[in-house]
Amino acid sequence: MILNIGTPCGLYPHNLHLVKESIFDNPFMMLPDFRKNFDIRWHVAIDTLICKKEDIDINLFNYMDSFTETEDGCWGNQCKNALMENVKEGWVYLCDDDNIIHTDLYTHLLDVLDNSIESEKFITFKHDVGFKFMKILDRESRYSKPIINEDGIQESTCDSGQVVFHSSEWKPWEVSRGLNKKLYPADHRFYQNAYIENEDNFYISDHLATFYNRLKW
Protein backbone atom coordinates (compact mmCIF):
# COMPACT_ATOMS: atom_id res chain seq x y z
CA MET A 1 0.00 0.00 0.00
CA ILE A 2 1.06 3.56 -0.64
CA LEU A 3 0.91 5.73 2.46
CA ASN A 4 1.44 9.45 1.85
CA ILE A 5 2.39 11.26 5.04
CA GLY A 6 1.75 14.98 4.73
CA THR A 7 3.35 17.50 7.07
CA PRO A 8 2.00 21.06 6.92
CA CYS A 9 4.69 23.18 8.57
CA GLY A 10 3.55 26.59 9.72
CA LEU A 11 5.43 27.29 12.94
CA TYR A 12 7.94 24.60 13.88
CA PRO A 13 10.43 23.75 11.10
CA HIS A 14 12.92 22.80 13.84
CA ASN A 15 10.61 19.87 14.67
CA LEU A 16 10.83 18.28 11.23
CA HIS A 17 13.76 16.05 12.17
CA LEU A 18 11.58 14.55 14.92
CA VAL A 19 8.71 14.04 12.48
CA LYS A 20 11.11 12.37 10.05
CA GLU A 21 12.50 10.06 12.73
CA SER A 22 9.02 8.97 13.78
CA ILE A 23 8.12 8.20 10.15
CA PHE A 24 11.23 6.37 9.03
CA ASP A 25 12.67 4.95 12.27
CA ASN A 26 9.46 3.29 13.43
CA PRO A 27 10.22 -0.20 14.84
CA PHE A 28 7.65 -1.72 12.47
CA MET A 29 9.84 -0.63 9.54
CA MET A 30 12.56 -2.96 10.77
CA LEU A 31 10.41 -6.03 10.16
CA PRO A 32 11.38 -8.04 7.03
CA ASP A 33 7.96 -7.75 5.34
CA PHE A 34 7.55 -4.01 5.85
CA ARG A 35 8.75 -3.00 2.39
CA LYS A 36 6.38 -5.53 0.84
CA ASN A 37 3.44 -3.88 2.58
CA PHE A 38 4.22 -0.15 2.60
CA ASP A 39 5.50 2.49 0.23
CA ILE A 40 5.97 5.54 2.48
CA ARG A 41 6.00 8.94 0.75
CA TRP A 42 6.63 12.09 2.78
CA HIS A 43 5.21 15.39 1.51
CA VAL A 44 6.08 18.66 3.29
CA ALA A 45 4.69 22.14 2.71
CA ILE A 46 5.78 25.24 4.63
CA ASP A 47 4.11 28.58 5.22
CA THR A 48 6.71 31.17 4.26
CA LEU A 49 4.94 33.92 6.15
CA ILE A 50 6.61 32.47 9.24
CA CYS A 51 9.01 29.73 8.10
CA LYS A 52 11.85 29.69 5.60
CA LYS A 53 13.30 26.83 3.60
CA GLU A 54 16.64 27.70 5.17
CA ASP A 55 15.19 26.82 8.58
CA ILE A 56 15.08 23.15 7.56
CA ASP A 57 18.02 20.78 7.94
CA ILE A 58 19.23 20.21 4.37
CA ASN A 59 19.56 16.46 4.96
CA LEU A 60 15.81 16.14 5.52
CA PHE A 61 15.08 16.91 1.88
CA ASN A 62 16.57 13.51 0.99
CA TYR A 63 13.57 11.91 2.71
CA MET A 64 10.88 14.07 1.11
CA ASP A 65 8.97 13.03 -1.97
CA SER A 66 7.77 16.60 -2.41
CA PHE A 67 8.40 20.01 -0.85
CA THR A 68 6.21 23.06 -1.44
CA GLU A 69 6.35 26.67 -0.25
CA THR A 70 3.11 28.60 0.33
CA GLU A 71 2.28 32.05 1.70
CA ASP A 72 -1.10 32.47 3.32
CA GLY A 73 -0.94 31.81 7.05
CA CYS A 74 -4.35 30.10 7.18
CA TRP A 75 -3.91 27.60 10.04
CA GLY A 76 -1.93 25.31 7.73
CA ASN A 77 -4.91 24.77 5.43
CA GLN A 78 -3.06 26.15 2.42
CA CYS A 79 -0.09 23.90 3.23
CA LYS A 80 -2.34 20.84 3.27
CA ASN A 81 -3.86 21.82 -0.06
CA ALA A 82 -0.40 22.38 -1.55
CA LEU A 83 1.05 19.07 -0.44
CA MET A 84 -2.08 17.20 -1.54
CA GLU A 85 -1.49 18.46 -5.07
CA ASN A 86 1.56 16.17 -5.06
CA VAL A 87 -0.37 13.12 -3.84
CA LYS A 88 -1.42 11.09 -6.86
CA GLU A 89 -2.52 7.78 -5.33
CA GLY A 90 -2.83 5.76 -2.16
CA TRP A 91 -3.74 6.65 1.41
CA VAL A 92 -3.01 9.86 3.31
CA TYR A 93 -2.07 10.60 6.90
CA LEU A 94 -1.48 14.18 8.09
CA CYS A 95 1.24 14.65 10.70
CA ASP A 96 1.55 18.31 11.69
CA ASP A 97 4.84 19.92 12.66
CA ASP A 98 3.88 19.67 16.35
CA ASN A 99 3.17 15.95 16.15
CA ILE A 100 4.92 12.64 15.48
CA ILE A 101 3.87 9.26 14.13
CA HIS A 102 2.66 6.87 16.83
CA THR A 103 4.74 3.69 16.98
CA ASP A 104 1.60 1.55 16.54
CA LEU A 105 0.07 3.38 13.57
CA TYR A 106 1.59 1.26 10.79
CA THR A 107 0.77 -2.02 12.52
CA HIS A 108 -2.88 -1.21 13.19
CA LEU A 109 -3.39 0.48 9.82
CA LEU A 110 -2.14 -2.57 7.94
CA ASP A 111 -4.39 -4.82 10.02
CA VAL A 112 -7.44 -2.65 9.29
CA LEU A 113 -6.74 -2.50 5.56
CA ASP A 114 -6.20 -6.24 5.37
CA ASN A 115 -9.63 -6.83 6.90
CA SER A 116 -11.72 -3.87 5.74
CA ILE A 117 -14.14 -3.64 2.84
CA GLU A 118 -13.70 -1.68 -0.37
CA SER A 119 -16.15 1.09 0.55
CA GLU A 120 -14.24 2.27 3.62
CA LYS A 121 -12.20 5.34 2.70
CA PHE A 122 -11.69 6.95 6.12
CA ILE A 123 -10.06 5.13 9.04
CA THR A 124 -10.00 6.75 12.45
CA PHE A 125 -8.06 5.62 15.50
CA LYS A 126 -8.06 6.53 19.16
CA HIS A 127 -5.45 9.12 19.93
CA ASP A 128 -3.48 9.97 23.02
CA VAL A 129 -3.97 13.62 23.92
CA GLY A 130 -1.77 13.60 27.03
CA PHE A 131 -2.91 14.92 30.39
CA LYS A 132 -2.36 18.58 29.48
CA PHE A 133 -4.67 18.47 26.47
CA MET A 134 -7.09 16.12 28.18
CA LYS A 135 -7.90 19.07 30.45
CA ILE A 136 -7.82 21.69 27.70
CA LEU A 137 -10.08 19.60 25.45
CA ASP A 138 -12.33 18.64 28.37
CA ARG A 139 -11.89 14.89 27.88
CA GLU A 140 -12.76 12.26 30.46
CA SER A 141 -9.77 10.22 29.32
CA ARG A 142 -6.49 11.05 27.59
CA TYR A 143 -7.35 8.31 25.07
CA SER A 144 -10.28 9.12 22.82
CA LYS A 145 -11.88 8.34 19.49
CA PRO A 146 -14.25 10.54 17.46
CA ILE A 147 -17.61 11.12 19.12
CA ILE A 148 -20.45 10.24 16.76
CA ASN A 149 -23.99 11.47 17.50
CA GLU A 150 -27.17 12.13 15.53
CA ASP A 151 -25.52 15.16 13.92
CA GLY A 152 -22.47 13.24 12.76
CA ILE A 153 -18.97 13.72 14.12
CA GLN A 154 -19.05 16.04 17.12
CA GLU A 155 -16.89 19.12 16.57
CA SER A 156 -13.35 19.09 17.99
CA THR A 157 -13.43 15.33 18.64
CA CYS A 158 -11.85 14.29 15.34
CA ASP A 159 -8.37 15.68 14.74
CA SER A 160 -6.63 15.34 11.38
CA GLY A 161 -3.86 13.45 13.17
CA GLN A 162 -6.16 10.53 13.96
CA VAL A 163 -7.54 9.92 10.47
CA VAL A 164 -6.14 8.05 7.50
CA PHE A 165 -8.12 8.71 4.33
CA HIS A 166 -7.89 7.60 0.72
CA SER A 167 -6.49 10.24 -1.61
CA SER A 168 -9.51 9.86 -3.92
CA GLU A 169 -11.67 11.41 -1.19
CA TRP A 170 -9.69 14.64 -0.85
CA LYS A 171 -11.46 17.94 -1.29
CA PRO A 172 -9.53 21.21 -0.78
CA TRP A 173 -9.62 22.81 2.65
CA GLU A 174 -11.00 26.33 2.94
CA VAL A 175 -8.32 29.01 2.97
CA SER A 176 -8.07 32.74 3.58
CA ARG A 177 -4.98 34.89 4.00
CA GLY A 178 -4.15 35.30 7.68
CA LEU A 179 -5.36 33.40 10.73
CA ASN A 180 -9.07 33.51 9.95
CA LYS A 181 -10.76 32.03 13.04
CA LYS A 182 -13.77 30.97 11.00
CA LEU A 183 -11.52 28.58 9.07
CA TYR A 184 -9.74 27.05 12.06
CA PRO A 185 -12.17 24.06 12.19
CA ALA A 186 -11.73 23.32 8.45
CA ASP A 187 -10.40 19.85 9.29
CA HIS A 188 -13.58 19.00 11.17
CA ARG A 189 -15.75 20.24 8.31
CA PHE A 190 -13.80 18.09 5.84
CA TYR A 191 -14.41 14.91 7.85
CA GLN A 192 -17.91 15.94 8.90
CA ASN A 193 -19.01 16.54 5.31
CA ALA A 194 -17.52 13.21 4.24
CA TYR A 195 -19.29 11.42 7.10
CA ILE A 196 -22.65 13.02 6.33
CA GLU A 197 -22.23 12.18 2.65
CA ASN A 198 -21.63 8.50 3.39
CA GLU A 199 -21.05 7.27 6.93
CA ASP A 200 -20.38 3.78 5.54
CA ASN A 201 -17.08 5.16 4.23
CA PHE A 202 -15.80 5.40 7.82
CA TYR A 203 -14.10 2.68 9.83
CA ILE A 204 -13.87 3.64 13.51
CA SER A 205 -11.05 1.67 15.13
CA ASP A 206 -10.76 1.08 18.87
CA HIS A 207 -6.99 0.82 18.58
CA LEU A 208 -4.82 3.57 20.02
CA ALA A 209 -2.54 4.54 17.16
CA THR A 210 -2.13 8.32 17.04
CA PHE A 211 -1.03 11.33 19.10
CA TYR A 212 -2.48 14.81 19.51
CA ASN A 213 0.12 17.61 19.36
CA ARG A 214 2.68 15.26 20.92
CA LEU A 215 5.55 17.78 20.64
CA LYS A 216 3.60 20.29 22.75
CA TRP A 217 3.14 18.05 25.76
Each residue of 136-153: pLDDT tens digit?
Answer: 999 999 999 999 998 899
pLDDT surpassing 80 at residue 188: yes
pLDDT surpassing 80 at residue 116: no
Give every CB contact of residue 149 below 8 A, 6+ residues apart in sequence: none
In terms of Cβ atoms closer than 10 Å to its own Cβ (0-12, 13-18, 19+), residue 62 is exposed
74 close to 184: Cβ distance less than 8 angstroms: no
pLDDT surpassing 80 at residue 41: yes
How does residue 77 score in pLDDT terms, banded at 50, 70 and 90?
Answer: very high
pLDDT surpassing 90 at residue 155: no
pLDDT of residue 71: 87
pLDDT of residue 80: 96
26 close to 103: Cβ distance less than 8 angstroms: yes
Residue 140 CB coordination number (10 Å): 7
CATH at 56: 3.90.550.10
Q: In one letter, which amino acid is 105?
A: L
pLDDT surpassing 80 at residue 34: no
Model pTM? 0.94
Report phi then psi at 144, rounded to 5: -145, 155
Report phi then psi at 153, rounded to 5: -85, 120
Residue range(s) defining the domain that contains residue 83: 2-216
Number of domains in the chain: 1
pLDDT surpassing 80 at residue 33: no
- The Cα–Cα gap between 23 and 26 comes to 6
User: Looking at residues 87-106, what average pLDDT do you find?
Assistant: 97
In terms of Cβ atoms closer than 10 Å to its own Cβ (0-12, 13-18, 19+), residue 130 is middle
Beta strands in 48-167 (DSSP E): 64-70, 91-94, 122-128, 143-144, 148-149, 152-153, 163-166
Compute the mean pLDDT over every residue in the chain, rounded to the nearest whole number. Answer: 93
